[in-house]
Amino acid sequence: MLRVAVPNKGALSESAAAMLAEAGYRRRSDSKDLTVLDDAHEVEFFFLRPKDIATYVGSGELDLGITGRDLSLESGAPVAERLALGFGRSTFRYAAPKGREWAVDDLDGARIATSYPNIVRADLAARGMAATVIPLDGAVEISIQLGVADLIADVVGSGRTLRQHNLAPFGDVLCSSEAVLIGRADSAESGAAARAQLTARLQGVVYGQQYVLLDYNCPRELLEEASRVTPGVESPTVSDLAEAGWLAVRAMVPRKGMNGVMDQLKEIGARAVLATDIRSCRM
Ligand SMILES: Nc1ncnc2c1ncn2[C@@H]1O[C@H](COP(=O)(O)OP(=O)(O)OP(=O)(O)O)[C@@H](O)[C@H]1O
Ligand SMILES: O=P(O)(O)OC[C@H]1O[C@H](OP(=O)(O)OP(=O)(O)O)[C@H](O)[C@@H]1O
Ligand SMILES: [Mg+2]
């Protein structure tokens, strides 16, 4: 039985559960359930705090886990990323009160509040700076106005929380994060088939989110030019339309930039250009 950790609450939990369901795995029936047995796929899911997941996987108690790249880095556990899942994107940054220019030199001697003390200490050490790291569990943005810190280092998603507290980020990004599937760095052979299946199915859902299916009608003499715009995986699928001299063309294209591709197709003479979502895909 493959043992897989999934965030039980917080920013990653809903998307992780939705992605596993799209990949065909059993959902938990109650948000308080801590385990779900999916007999058909020989997988048992464990719903854990996202912060603890890399620790469980690193120790070998669990085989795979879904967590944030930043949390995985912070844990220091011996885990390796198997797949980037494309949701829960954030950056981890220093931030300070607006009203003056801050630079990384200001870190030296400062009190820095954070819920990721290991990432911050490693960054300070790499810069050769000495600062006091104030470890907090959350709501870090409020620590400066409460007087316990001069600066913070925290997760930035939309940036709304920083703005609400009149803070601005500065310096390089310490970690660009998203949800990731992790396994042990030296993964054991147990459950190899179930592990490969789960990884491939999640990869399929990720591809489904990264690509769309484009369909369009195109005069036969424009096919070569249109195929250069939508080369597809091997090549586009081409079939005859009832109208003589016209073809129906279908190809996968990256979701990012799909509107540019649609504009281009229209410009070269394609008609009825349609974009359709892909739910899952095996490349
Ligand atoms: N606003 C956000 N936008 C995008 N990703 C986020 C956001 N907040 C957190 N994350 C990501 O989610 C993960 C942290 O999840 P979460 O906030 O649920 O954990 P936590 O802070 O440890 O728990 P809690 O907030 O319940 O105390 C990290 O990988 C982080 O990068
Ligand atoms: O840039 P934004 O979109 O505003 O998101 C960033 C905020 O979201 C997270 O907080 P969370 O809700 O997890 O609370 P926490 O600080 O208690 O962890 C993170 O720690 C930031 O505070
Ligand atoms: Mg949080």
Measured from the CB, is residue 68 less than 6 Å from ligand 1?
A: yes
Please state the domain extents for the chain. Answer: 2-87+179-190, 90-177, 211-277
Q: Cβ distance 218 to 65 under 8 Å?
A: no
* pLDDT value of position 115: 98
pLDDT in tens, 247-262: 999 999 999 999 999 9
Q: Cβ distance 95 to 114 under 8 Å?
A: no
pLDDT in tens, 116-138: 999 999 999 999 999 999 999 99
Q: Give the residue ranges of DSSP H helices in the chain.
A: 13-22, 50-58, 69-75, 117-127, 160-164, 192-210, 223-229, 258-268
> Of the ligands numbered here, which is closest to the C-alpha atom of 175?
1
Q: Give the residue ranges of DSSP H helices in 5-68.
A: 13-22, 50-58
Measured from the CB, is residue 109 less than 6 Å from ligand 1?
A: no
* pLDDT value of position 189: 62
Average pLDDT over residues 79-90: 97
* pLDDT value of position 186: 79
Whether pLDDT at 238 is above 80 = yes
Measured from the CB, is residue 8 less than 6 Å from ligand 1?
A: no
Fold classification of 2-87+179-190 (topology level): D-Maltodextrin-Binding Protein; domain 2 (3.40.190)
> What whole-number distance in Å separates Cα of residue 25 and Cα of residue 17?
9
Q: Cβ distance 23 to 280 under 8 Å?
A: yes
Q: Which atom of ligand 1 is nearest to the CA of 69?
A: 29
Whether pLDDT at 96 is above 70 = yes
Query: 2-87+179-190 and 211-277 share one CATH topology?
Result: no
Give buried/exposed letters for 154-170 (b at 16+ CB in 10 A, else e).
bbbeeeebbeebebbbb
> What whole-number distance in Å separates Cα of residue 223 and Cα of residue 248?
10
Measured from the CB, is residue 11 less than 6 Å from ligand 1?
A: yes
Whether pLDDT at 219 is above 70 = yes
Average pLDDT over residues 228-242: 96
Give buried/exposed letters for 248-283 (b at 16+ CB in 10 A, else e).
bbbbbbeeeebeebbebbeeeebeebeeeebebbee
Q: If you measure from the C-alpha of residue 19 to the centroid of ligand 1, how many angstroms do you get, rounded to a whole number?
A: 17
> What whole-number distance in Å separates Cα of residue 227 and Cα of residue 79?
42
Measured from the CB, is residue 71 less than 6 Å from ligand 1?
A: yes
Measured from the CB, is residue 70 less than 6 Å from ligand 1?
A: yes
8, 91, 99: which is closest to 45 by C-alpha? 8
Residue 73 — pLDDT band, cuts 50, 70, 90? very high
Q: Which atom of ligand 2 is nearest to the CA of 10?
A: 13
> Of the ligands numbered here, which is closest to the C-alpha atom of 50?
1
Whether pLDDT at 35 is above 70 = yes
Measured from the CB, is residue 206 less than 6 Å from ligand 1?
A: no
Residue 185 — pLDDT band, cuts 50, 70, 90? confident
Q: Cβ distance 205 to 280 under 8 Å?
A: yes
The burial class, CB within 10 Å (0-12 / 13-18 / 19+), for 74 is buried
> Of the ligands numbered here, which is closest to the C-alpha atom of 136?
2
* pLDDT value of position 188: 67
Average pLDDT over residues 262-273: 97
Task: Give the CATH superfamily of 90-177.
Answer: Periplasmic binding protein-like II (3.40.190.10)
Average pLDDT over the chain, rounded to an integer: 96
Whether pLDDT at 187 is above 80 = no
Average pLDDT over residues 87-99: 97
231, 220, 208, 229: which is closest to 281 by C-alpha? 208
Q: If you measure from the C-alpha of residue 146 to the centroid of ligand 3, how many angstroms do you get, rounded to a whole number?
A: 19
Measured from the CB, is residue 176 less than 6 Å from ligand 1?
A: no
pTM: 0.93
The protein residue with its alpha carbon nearest to ligand 1, atom 26, reads: 10
* pLDDT value of position 235: 95
* pLDDT value of position 191: 80
Fold classification of 211-277 (topology level): Alpha-Beta Plaits (3.30.70)
Q: If you measure from the C-alpha of residue 117 to the centroid of ligand 1, how many angstroms do you get, rounded to a whole number?
A: 15
- Which residues approach ligand 2 with their CB closer than 6 A? 10-11, 138-141, 154-161
